[in-house]
Structure 1
């Protein structure tokens, strides 16, 4: 199978994984209690979506290595925050333990990919 060239952030496997994770969180969080609407529900949705938004920003900042890396690190931080909210959702019995474990693992994959990109940004940078 031939690899397709990466033309936008949407072509990145890490972006696709994070986007799918955010959509899964959105669907699952619809079942959270109404009293969590402005706390846990809002926070977990925001952080999971922010992972993707920061990757999109990083992609557009590829001209400048430091700016690119900074946005990747922001994305990584949002992924870690999402993992924290997943833990709270499991502990509060809003998410099944296995579902929480799977989602947490998804964000471990995202973090790992972002760390790799941060540690080796050269292939992703725009050529001047």
Structure 2
């Protein structure tokens, strides 16, 4: 089986892990959030890994950097939604810390990739 370049990236692997955390975490949200925070958080979490993957397929470093910037933005959007979820009591402090730790790691790596593409 062929392994694509994005599948080798640690940041992509971490973003997949974060998406699974978000999916599992939002299962416990109130049903009335099905089309609100649940949908938003799940779409954001998927957007991170998707934009990393799509960015690696681009031909120019400028385009690659652009997709990393989009992935970074989706990660911060997810952080914002996670903070709101914590404030509403939908997630525990423990889950919040786990998600926040993953987000910090991912944003650092995405930023490094983006900077690499900008400089080359």
Please indicate the TM-score interval, normalised by the length of the shorter structure. Answer: over 0.9
CA displacement 1:58-86 (0-9 Å, x = unmatched): 0101x201110000000000000010111
1:12 aligns with 2:9: yes
The structure whose Rg is larger is 1
Corresponding residue of 1:95: 91
Equivalent residue for 1:111, pick from 107, 110, 115: 107
Unaligned segments of structure 1, at least 5 residues: 1-5
Equivalenced residue count is 118
> Alpha-carbon deviation of 1:11?
1.2
> Alpha-carbon deviation of 1:89?
1.1
Corresponding residue of 2:26: 29
Runs of 4+ in 1 over 3 A off after TM superposition: none
1:43 aligns with 2:40: yes
Please, what TM-score do these two structures have when normalized by structure 1?
0.87
Please, what TM-score do these two structures have when normalized by structure 2?
0.92
